[in-house]
Structure 1
Amino acid sequence: MATPAPANDPFQSADGDELRALPSNVEAEAAFLGAVLIDNRILEEIGAQLKPEHFFADVHGRVYERILTLMDRKAVVTPVTLKPYFESDEGLKELGGTAYLARLTADGQGLLNPRELAEQIYDLALLRELISVGRGLVAGAMDTSESVSPMAQVEQAESRLYEVAEGAQTGNEAQSFTAATRVAIAAIEKALNSGGHIAGKTTGLSSVNEKVGGLHDSDLIILAGRPGMGKTSLATNIAFNAADRLRRDLADGIDAAKSVGAGTVFFSLEMSADQLATRILAEQSGISSEALRMGRISREDFKQLSRASQTLAELPLYIDDTPALTISALRTRARRLKRRNPEIGLIVVDYLQLLQGTGRTEGRVNEISEISRGLKTLAKELAVPVIALSQLSRAVESRDDKRPMLSDLRESGSIEQDADMVWFVFREDYYVAAREPKRPTEADDAKTHEAHGAWAAEMERVYGLAELIVAKQRHGATGKVRLRFEPRITRFSDLAEDAQAASSYD
């Protein structure tokens, strides 16, 4: 015996029949089609938001689709020109055949308010889509098999709901050049007020800001490097700097919209949240992360650490260390965080190759392409810069000059294609240190002492120096920025002005 549905079931009555018809207004659809057949210019005025699938009556959707096709061919669409296409349409025969097309234009009521009719048809279609999502959610929740993950269902439902909302938001008409200019002028004014260097979010590094103009909304920035170069450290530094700038600006009464700082989400697929927090604590307290992990700190160090942690507690910095995220799950989590915390203006992903695709593509190259496109789409959806860390191929190690090139990006050329900026981190001291010759003893000859002395001199010249190579930039020129790197506390900072001036780098 079947269990009766609860009285508050929104989809079914006790006997299993639908409690109510799906939201629709077939009369409004007929009136709108009649208005368009009388005056084809109506479609030009209301824009292209309305599509054939938004009509509840299938036959109305087919008529509207044919109207759009004929108008694309510059033809005048009337019941007469439509007639040859629907003489064998079974759905139209049930309504009286091709004579129904003429009846659509009989009263011309739709000419009074075609825009309102189009909006109503579209809104009702959205409601039906919401009902479809709800039914799918209910059906999925009723499946109690072991293979079903409730959290995966939640993320899938969130993703579906966002797709519905995204469809409503992206149906806008093309904006005028005047409107686009106003946005551009506002960005230029923001750069002017920041001192003439930053048009986007700050990296906290003046030399980098001057080179790239800050981190621009909707941009995908790929930060790549070989293991040991410090790409995670640089990303962590930038995440902290942006969040700390927003914290200080808010404390000074500056509105978040006018701040060059940003709340930051750090998706750490490689390191745990506490490991990342230890790094940031080390950077800000000046105590090495190794000493923090081992507990080799003095009472004074602990006091300094406590002061740093109090400051960090107020940071608008959010860490998600969920492993093995899919690109769709990451986008869902980012949207959710942005919705709950509107001050979020920067997303960092460490790192791209640890993300997984949706499983709909074959081969790792196609999967990486899907992931890079998904990250770029996320940047545009939320209108925030996204920094994605990436590995480099081993081809770098086989060259005499270890500086990376765009061709070294691992597994997919689409990473370079989708990125608005590509940065490489390079530290020469890493490779020089690996070439250390045998340490001489008193018994060794002069040649051995000389070789080690030459190495020590070279190591002294390059120690603590790093390069940020801007290999691609849609907004400006490429080139190199020299930075100071403190390996003890994994912190990047601007190089002293005299060192910059003495440098021959671009």
Structure 2
Amino acid sequence: MNEIARRLAPIAKDQAEAQYREAPNNVEAEQALLGAILVNNDAFYRVSDFLKPVHLNEPLHRKIFEVAGDIIRMGKTANPVTIKTFLKADEKVGDMTVAQYLARLASEAVSIINAEDYGRAIYDLALRRSLITIGEDMVNIAFDAPLDMPPQSQIEDAERRLFELAETGRYDGGFQAFNDAVALAIDMAGQAFERDGHLSGISSGIQSLDARMGGLQRSDLIVLAGRPGMGKTSLATNIAWNVAHAYEPEVQADGSFKARNGGVVGFYSLEMSSEQLATRIISEQTDVSSSKIRRGDISEAEFEKLVGFSQTMQKTPLYIDQTGGISIAQLSARARRLKRQRGLDCLVVDYIQLMTGSGKSGDNRVQEITQITTGLKALGKELNVPIIALSQLSRQVESREDKRPQLSDLRESGSIEQDADVVLFVFREEYYVKNMEPRDEFDPKYEEWKQKFEAVKGTADVIIAKQRHGPTGTVKLAFQAEFTRFTDLADPSFTQYEEA
């Protein structure tokens, strides 16, 4: 028995030490940084872009850093005399008063040159403390998991928190100062001024549509809807390729890359395989019919065009996920992973009705669609990217004489219409007029039909039925059915805007 106790003693000691491990922190680094700021306020600007009060471990140090920052931003001098009036006078630091402690920090200050190094050390330790919190939560939830939280949900939640920590250095939400929001708005305006086309968002590659929407706005949920055969997948594919092909990276100060023009695109193709999607894009860009590509009915010159274009495609940051029936939680997890590993500037989902929710199987379809659209909107805000989500329209369109779609035609329209920032309808009158062709070309109505068909042939309407930050209306585009390609009309007089 004594032998067993002797062997277990070191283990028990290690476990006891593990239970009382202190969270990573460096009081001396915090003191050195604060001292440098109190002696020379320029030291604050060396760390203020990445270091926040919450990153300091000691509560008093957080308060000193916060007060000093507020004073410096107002253009005043932060030193032991000006700061002490904003701190509790009766608070003690060991045997010293707060005023004496501030004076000690200033008297033992390090050079301003070292300020950024100390700031980085403090920031890194704060991240490690956050990682410990996430890890402890994972362990505690796994030990005592609620009945309605399957392991997959816990993995997705942990992945989300880790992604947010990696992206921003923190995983807690909260209020944002209005002056920070104003600075972001001015910065966005400056970027729009420098960007090609002077757009506040990412260019779709279709000028008449960009003129109406200002490009694809970050964090927007853009619902692109239409009846089968209208070309909504073709339009989404066109836009995805245009954005990816226009990608121009710009190196940031921290060594990461940011899109100056265009962007990295993620395409969830729930209906078509990646090969079918690639064939469509190749057809659009090479003017070789997709049906001819599938049949192999191409000339040597056309084959050389395909090979040449395939080399261009290899360099284009367009990533395709062809998983069918993907859930909103899986889609979100994969999108976060793509942004972390490759970058992400635009997301396309083809289409909403082929997705599944993350709730119980007993949920009805309307609730499931609500969960999907709410999840897509939240994901767009989290990743700060526009999400183009395709949607089917109900059959009631076909029963009307006027086939132009309306918001009420959206399937499960309540949630889709509510969550979307922009709703676009693709409408090709040519599709319906062609089906009305008289069987007898000598029919008196044939000439009338022919004139009407020629008027709408090769055109398409993109109806902007809803737009939170812009006007609604209709944009006329050219549509080449053979290559499934949407472009601006050659004659600008045909580009019509109908104000709503």
Normalised by the length of structure 1, the TM-score is: 0.69
Quote the offset at 1:452 in angstroms.
2.2
| 1:494 matches 2:488 | yes
Within a 5 Å distance, the mapping from 1:407-426 to structure 2 comes to 407-426=408-427
- In structure 2, the CA distance between the partners of 1:273 and 1:19, relative to structure 1 (3 Å rule), is farther
Deviations for 1:171-204, whole angstroms, at most 9, x for unmatched residues?
3553333222221112112222235541111100
Q: Secondary structure at the match of 1:413?
A: helix
Within a 5 Å distance, the mapping from 1:195-344 to structure 2 comes to 197-246=198-247, 257=258, 259-342=260-343, 344=344
- In structure 2, the CA distance between the partners of 1:187 and 1:299, relative to structure 1 (3 Å rule), is same
- The residue identity in structure 2 corresponding to 1:20 is A
Within a 5 Å distance, the mapping from 1:162-173 to structure 2 comes to 162-163=160-161, 166=164, 169-171=170-172, 173=174
Contact 2:473 2:497 in 1 (8 A): no
Contact 1:190 1:258 in 2 (8 A): no
Q: Which residue of 2 aligns with 1:346?
A: 346
CA distance in structure 2 between the aligned counterparts of 1:421 and 1:363, rounded to whole angstroms = 26
CA distance in structure 2 between the aligned counterparts of 1:195 and 1:107, rounded to whole angstroms = 57
Q: Secondary structure at the match of 2:348?
A: strand
- In structure 2, the CA distance between the partners of 1:170 and 1:377, relative to structure 1 (3 Å rule), is same
- The residue identity in structure 2 corresponding to 1:417 is Q
| 1:462 matches 2:460 | no
CA distance in structure 1 between the aligned counterparts of 2:410 and 2:131, rounded to whole angstroms = 41
- In structure 2, the CA distance between the partners of 1:385 and 1:292, relative to structure 1 (3 Å rule), is same
Quote the offset at 1:124 in angstroms.
5.4
- The residue identity in structure 2 corresponding to 1:481 is V
- In structure 2, the CA distance between the partners of 1:177 and 1:317, relative to structure 1 (3 Å rule), is same
CA distance in structure 2 between the aligned counterparts of 1:365 and 1:229, rounded to whole angstroms = 24
Quote the offset at 1:164 in angstroms.
5.5
Quote the offset at 1:155 in angstroms.
8.1
- In structure 2, the CA distance between the partners of 1:263 and 1:381, relative to structure 1 (3 Å rule), is same
Q: Matched residues, percent identical?
A: 44
Quote the offset at 1:256 in angstroms.
5.7
Deviations for 1:128-187, whole angstroms, at most 9, x for unmatched residues?
4413425777999xxxxxxxxxxx967852542323654873535533332222211121
Contact 1:464 1:487 in 2 (8 A): yes
Residue of structure 2 aligned with 1:133, choices 117, 130, 138: 138
CA distance in structure 2 between the aligned counterparts of 1:247 and 1:125, rounded to whole angstroms = 34
| 1:452 matches 2:446 | yes
Contact 1:247 1:316 in 2 (8 A): no
Contact 1:246 1:256 in 2 (8 A): no
- In structure 2, the CA distance between the partners of 1:107 and 1:496, relative to structure 1 (3 Å rule), is closer
Within a 5 Å distance, the mapping from 1:78-89 to structure 2 comes to none
Normalised by the length of structure 2, the TM-score is: 0.70
CA distance in structure 1 between the aligned counterparts of 2:125 and 2:318, rounded to whole angstroms = 42
Quote the offset at 1:126 in angstroms.
5.6
Contact 1:49 1:171 in 2 (8 A): no
Q: Secondary structure at the match of 1:488?
A: helix
- In structure 2, the CA distance between the partners of 1:498 and 1:374, relative to structure 1 (3 Å rule), is closer
Contact 2:202 2:217 in 1 (8 A): yes
- The residue identity in structure 2 corresponding to 1:345 is D
Count of residues in Structure 1 that have an aligned counterpart in Structure 2 = 395
Contact 1:273 1:319 in 2 (8 A): yes
- The residue identity in structure 2 corresponding to 1:163 is R
Q: Which residue of 1 aligns with 2:467?
A: 473
CA distance in structure 1 between the aligned counterparts of 2:432 and 2:470, rounded to whole angstroms = 30
Quote the offset at 1:497 in angstroms.
3.2
Quote the offset at 1:24 in angstroms.
6.7
| 1:21 matches 2:31 | no
Contact 1:369 1:412 in 2 (8 A): no
Q: Which residue of 2 aligns with 1:369?
A: 370
Structure 2: tracts of 5 or more residues without a match: 1-10, 24-51, 56-89, 102-123
CA distance in structure 2 between the aligned counterparts of 1:234 and 1:261, rounded to whole angstroms = 17
Deviations for 1:439-486, whole angstroms, at most 9, x for unmatched residues?
34xxxxx5x2x2222222211111110011111111111111000000
- The residue identity in structure 1 corresponding to 2:435 is A
CA distance in structure 2 between the aligned counterparts of 1:395 and 1:164, rounded to whole angstroms = 45
- The residue identity in structure 2 corresponding to 1:483 is L
Q: Which residue of 1 aligns with 2:182?
A: 181
- In structure 2, the CA distance between the partners of 1:22 and 1:202, relative to structure 1 (3 Å rule), is farther
CA distance in structure 2 between the aligned counterparts of 1:397 and 1:311, rounded to whole angstroms = 41
- In structure 2, the CA distance between the partners of 1:338 and 1:154, relative to structure 1 (3 Å rule), is farther
CA distance in structure 2 between the aligned counterparts of 1:340 and 1:155, rounded to whole angstroms = 22
- The residue identity in structure 1 corresponding to 2:456 is V
Contact 2:248 2:259 in 1 (8 A): no
Residue of structure 2 aligned with 1:157, choices 155, 158, 169: 155
Quote the offset at 1:305 in angstroms.
1.0
CA distance in structure 2 between the aligned counterparts of 1:231 and 1:324, rounded to whole angstroms = 19
Within a 5 Å distance, the mapping from 1:364-443 to structure 2 comes to 364-440=365-441
- The residue identity in structure 2 corresponding to 1:234 is L
- The residue identity in structure 2 corresponding to 1:298 is S
Q: Secondary structure at the match of 2:463?
A: strand
- In structure 2, the CA distance between the partners of 1:258 and 1:279, relative to structure 1 (3 Å rule), is closer
Contact 1:391 1:409 in 2 (8 A): yes
Q: Which has the larger displacement, 355-364 or 390-399?
A: 355-364
Structure 1: tracts of 5 or more residues without a match: 1-12, 26-46, 51-105, 114-118, 141-151, 441-445
**CA root-mean-square deviation:** 3.8
Q: Secondary structure at the match of 2:335?
A: helix
Deviations for 1:81-137, whole angstroms, at most 9, x for unmatched residues?
xxxxxxxxxxxxxxxxxxxxxxxxx98659969xxxxx9999757624413425777
CA distance in structure 2 between the aligned counterparts of 1:333 and 1:316, rounded to whole angstroms = 16
CA distance in structure 2 between the aligned counterparts of 1:439 and 1:249, rounded to whole angstroms = 61
Deviations for 1:278-314, whole angstroms, at most 9, x for unmatched residues?
0000001100100000111011110111111111111
- In structure 2, the CA distance between the partners of 1:249 and 1:274, relative to structure 1 (3 Å rule), is farther
CA distance in structure 2 between the aligned counterparts of 1:490 and 1:121, rounded to whole angstroms = 52
- In structure 2, the CA distance between the partners of 1:157 and 1:248, relative to structure 1 (3 Å rule), is closer
Contact 2:475 2:497 in 1 (8 A): no
CA distance in structure 1 between the aligned counterparts of 2:446 and 2:394, rounded to whole angstroms = 31
Contact 2:248 2:261 in 1 (8 A): no
Q: Which residue of 2 aligns with 1:59?
A: none
